[in-house]
Amino acid sequence: MSIQSVNPRTGEVFGPEIAASKPSDIDSMIAGAVSAFATWSQFSASKRAKVLISLADALDANVGKLVEIADAETGLGVPRLTGEVGRTTFQFRSFAEALNSGDFVAPILDAALDAPVPQGHPKFLKTFRAIGPVAVFGASNFPFAFSVLGGDTASALAAGCSVVIKAHPAHPQTSQLSFEIAKKALADAGAPEGLISLGHGFDFGKSVINDSRISAGAFTGSKAGGRALFDMAQDRQTPIPFYGELGSVNPVVVTESAMSDVSAFAGAYLDSLLMGNGQFCTNPSVLFVPESAEFIAAVQEQLSQRDPAPFLSEATKTLHDNNRAEVIAKTHAQVLQGKSAPTQGFFSSPAVLVVTAQSVLTQPELLATECFGPTGLVVTYANPAQLLTILSKLEGALVGCLFSLKISDLEEQILNALALKAGRVAFNAWPTGVAVTAGQNHGGPYPASTSSLHTSVGTSAITRFLRPVAFQGLPDESYTAVTADTVRGK
């Protein structure tokens, strides 16, 4: 079996056939990852930081080649993809800065306290050790920032782990080129051979996550795919952490006070909804607005001028179209549509489905139906009580948003309701932007992620792959035997 690129703008197959990884290839990759881990995990934080910076420099030096092939495979456009490479290299440099600062990896010394129990205690040295080789599964919608060299790979490498990566079939050439650039950059920077490896094919992913030599898994993608891998990771003889960022229906709540300029708000909503053809896990999936014929008319007027964009793959289009049809059939929604889709390639007309809060209350399961693509659901509510009841029925989400010009008792109730369901709550901001920074949290209650305690974006994502080990009563002269990093503490 082989994998080949498909141009989503035309539906045409192009480029070389890339063979699916064979069992012997998989065994060799994982053996290499185990060997590399033994060396890489002993590199000091500052030494790993230098390697990550070298990798970022190599990606920047090849941005033209990377963007050209990624655009052909994804249809996302040169400006968007160029910016995404910049985000990807920024992630590597951010983790390098975190390593140099010691914020997440430096051991903590807790000096002995000569006092009666329970205040008294012996000396402790708490270290943070790389968990082991990590399996990373690339996403389709971000061929750089959440793929072969995305945040999961960057944070695992920063932690001191080796990485075995499963390429996404929607952009195999982009994945292969990214890997080849990284492999050379790592070798030139003195990293051990086998530190990262890349495989292709459905069976590759299953084999890797089930291999006893893999210590953790990281995934960005669909609920079905992520849950299947999560179950495999837990059903192993030795279960392992599996950090999956899955599907998310993100609620956006609008109050009366935020609707003063209906036309501008409708335009901002559509900009966020249709960004990347709606193929964002942080898409504003469900918009809750007060009953307003004026707002619905403004959305229809502006949506009618929006052009369709290509899906990442035929499979993505098919799933989107089926889910959209299901929601329409079950709710008898008012359908607002954009320009007609071309027949060639993987396109669907953008649409907004308008339903009442009452119809959703009778079928709350519809709030869990993710239309991953250019489709939004607008729910009009009659009163705050109705709104709060619906919010209580939502599943876990990555992001929840509130638009309001004030913070009263109602807004506080809405914020608390959103915080119960989402990993990030944005005030007067759309959900689609996910800043790479220490304060970020990209995760949430299931099914948004399989571990609501961690983030996959931002420098604290490194903690997913660090295992704490406390040394008790260790002589001072033995510190260098257990850590190569600067000790912090008291």
Tens-place pLDDT, residues 50-63: 999 999 999 999 99
Q: Is the pLDDT of residue 490 over 70?
A: no
CB 157 within 8 A of CB 52: yes
CATH superfamily membership of 251-427: Aldehyde Dehydrogenase; Chain A, domain 2 (3.40.309.10)
Q: Which two tokens stand for residue 281?
A: 């896990």
As a whole number of angstroms, the distance between CA 215 and CA 211 comes to 9
Question: Is the model's pLDDT at 489 over the cut of 50?
Answer: no
> Distance from CA of residue 162 to its chain's centroid?
20
In the predicted structure, residue 218 carries a pLDDT above the cut 90: yes
Tokens coding 444: 């949430």
pLDDT of residue 484: 57
Q: Is 477 exposed, middle or buried (0-12, 13-18, 19+ CB in 10 A)?
A: exposed
Superfamily of domain 2-246+449-489: Aldehyde Dehydrogenase; Chain A, domain 1 (3.40.605.10)
Closest CA to 203 of 21, 423, 420, 9: 21
What digits encode the pLDDT tens for the residues 111-122? 999 999 999 999
Measure the CA dihedral 76/77/81/83, to 10°: -120
Exactly one of 281, 371, 401, 411 is catalytic; name it: 281
Collapse the DSSP code of 427 into the 3-class scheme (helix H, G, I; strand E, B; otherwise coil) and give the result: strand
> 356 φ, ψ to 5°?
-90, 160
Average pLDDT over residues 295-299: 98
Assess whether 281 carries a catalytic annotation.
yes
Please report the beta strands in 138-263, taking only residues with DSSP state E, as ranges in sequence order.
163-166, 196-199, 216-220, 242-245, 251-254
CB-based contacts of 40, cutoff 8 Å, min separation 6: 48, 130, 157, 160, 161, 162, 191, 192, 195
How would you label 364-402 residue by residue, b for 16+ Cβ within 10 Å and e otherwise? eebbebbbbbbbbbbbbbeebebbbbbbeebbbbbbbbb
Q: Is 245 assigned a catalytic role? A: yes
Question: Residue 39: helix, strand or coil by DSSP?
Answer: helix
Other Cβ atoms less than 10 A from the Cβ of 20: the count is 16
Return the higher-pLDDT residue of 103 and 143. Answer: 143
CA 238/CA 291 separation, integer angstroms: 53
**Of these residues, 73, 84, 245, 395, which one is catalytic?**
245
Where do the structural domains in the chain lie, given as residue ranges?
2-246+449-489, 251-427
Distances (CA, A) of 305 to 1, 298, 336: 43, 12, 12
The C-alpha atoms of residue 84 and residue 357 are separated, in whole angstroms, by: 37
Q: What is the per-residue pLDDT across 159-195, written as a single tens digit (0 to 9) for each?
A: 999 999 999 999 999 999 999 999 999 999 999 999 9
Query: What mean pLDDT is reported for the chain?
Result: 96
What HEC string does 404-424 produce?
A: CCCCCHHHHHHHHHHHHHEEE
Residue 478 pLDDT more than 80? no
For residue range 452-477, what is the model confidence (pLDDT) as tens digits? Answer: 999 999 999 999 999 999 999 988 87
pLDDT at 487 over 60: no
Q: How many CB atoms lie within 10 A of CB 332?
A: 10
* 255 beta partners: none
> How does pLDDT run across 373-418, given as a tens digit for each residue?
999 999 999 999 999 999 999 999 999 999 999 999 999 999 999 9
